[in-house]
Structures are given as structure tokens and as C-alpha cells.
Amino acid sequence: MTLIRDKCEFMVEIFKTNVHDILQAEKIIALLNDHFPAFMINFDLHDCDKILRVKGESIPIDDIVSLVSANGFECSLLN
């Protein structure tokens, strides 16, 4: 998905995870913010797919999946 705002393009990528609680989500958000400070990152833990949403320019999908997976969670791009 591409959003256009003030002549800047932002991508939004949606990932399916097995993150189940807010403490786990906060840990992953902090980790991803350390690596990608320019991205907007959040979870929707009420969704059945425990959605991780990343918004920014040129999102490195493989790096995000690897970082989340390296911390003991499942993560895959949701199609």
C-alpha cells in the first residue's frame, strides 16, 4: 500500500505475528525503533493475526522479519 502525503511517498507494510500481549509488543516496537527510527510502528493485538504495521519510506521487509524472528516471535508479510 502506498500513501501520498505532501509529495512524499510512504509505504505501509502489514505483518502477521504471534505477539500476544502489550509487553511483548512494546519490546518489539522498541527494537524496531532502534533500527528504524524514521518508521511509524504499531501493533493491533485485537486482530486475529496480531498485526504489526510499519509505515515509512523503503521498508526493508526481510530485515524486519529477521529482527522479530530473532527475538523469538513469528513474523511474516501479510498478503
Q: Which residue has the higher pLDDT, 70 or 3?
A: 70
* CA–CA dist 24, 11 (Å, integer): 24
Which residue type does 62 have?
D
pLDDT value of residue 22: 97
Number of domains into which the chain is organized: 1
Residue 6: give its domain's CATH number: 3.30.70.100
**Domain region containing 48:** 2-77
Residues forming a β-bridge with 11 = 2, 56
* CA–CA dist 15, 74 (Å, integer): 10
Q: Quick: pLDDT tens for 13-65.
A: 999 999 999 999 999 999 999 999 999 999 999 999 999 999 999 999 999 99
CA dihedral for 26, 44, 59, 18, sign (positive or negative): positive
